[in-house]
Structure 1
Amino acid sequence: MAFAPDTWPRQFRDLIRQSNKYLLNPLMLRLAGTKYWYASVVHHTGRRSGKHFATPVVADRVGDRFIVPLPYGTQVDWLRNVLTAGGARITTKGQTFDVTAPEIISATEALPLLPRDRRRTFERTGIEHYLRATIDSTS
């Protein structure tokens, strides 16, 4: 049984996004990206404002790429910023990587690449889209 946030009623989904943005995310950012925490941080630049932002996400390194689930769909601001800029920085497990060539991929393409425990979790939640980005080997 899937319960992906992008299938929830819009008003409820927007309420959850706003509470995450102003309550949960600032708390998560204290640990996200650190060596022993599960969450990572995407550092991105606002496509209109030019301001720098940090957003906590789950990011799995798979070879020379990162796979990031998109439980709130493909129209979230941080993702739109990354796609517009053509890249970002991801901090995970105490290391920071520049990433390029961001693209949205389907669950069918992403899930087989992920570790078994993550794959099962994401299958259960019914996440349909993922961000895939390549680690910039020149940085």
Structure 2
Amino acid sequence: MSTDNRQAPRAAQQFNKAARKVAGRRFMPLWALVEHRGRKSGRSYTTPIAIVGFTPQSVYIALPWGRGTDWVRNLQAAGEGTLVWKGRTFTVSEPGFADKAETLAAAPGLRRRIAGRWLPEDCLRLRLAPSA
């Protein structure tokens, strides 16, 4: 697995601004929002992410920019965060890395076939718990 920290292209940064408006809603099951705190600043951040696979206990997220992105490092430092997905809010914990095979095994049929072609080796697994 790659551990480098690739910088997101400017186009991806612009996409994220637009994606924040629709990610996490019931009608957008692929896209979610992860809320996390800066590990140094303590500031609250919201990052749109794509849910590649899921089980009743976990979600699997592709990491196209690698493991070293700030939002991943923030979740690792805090050990938890919040996920807004399909119109619901979840507490997420135990951030850990999953390989491509584990992630694809948790992906539903069509998503598995599509993701199998572009999914990077780096994926993040988060444990789910409904928020109160």
The two structures share one fold, judged by TM-score above 0.5: yes
**Per-residue deviation at 1:137?**
5.8
> Aligned residues, how many?
127
SS at 1:101's partner residue?
Answer: strand
Are positions 1:70 and 2:70 aligned together?
no
2:41 to 49, 59, 63: 49
Change (3 A) 1:78 1:86: same
Deviations, residues 97-120 of structure 1 (Å, cap 9, x unaligned): 001111011112221121122222
Distance in 1 separating the partners of 2:24 and 2:131: 21
2:19 matched to which residue of 1?
Answer: 28
Taking the TM superposition and a 5 Å limit, the aligned residue runs for 1:1-139 are 14=7, 16=9, 18-21=10-13, 23-37=14-28, 38-59=30-51, 60-136=53-129, 139=132
Q: Tell me, which stretches of 5 or more residues in structure 1 are unaligned?
A: 1-5
CA root-mean-square deviation = 2.0
- Using the size of structure 2 for normalisation, the TM-score is 0.86
More helix by share: 1
Structure 1 or 2, whichever has the larger Rg, is: 1
Q: Give % identity.
A: 29
Q: Tell me, which stretches of 5 or more residues in structure 2 are unaligned?
A: none
- Using the size of structure 1 for normalisation, the TM-score is 0.82
1:3 matched to which residue of 2?
Answer: none
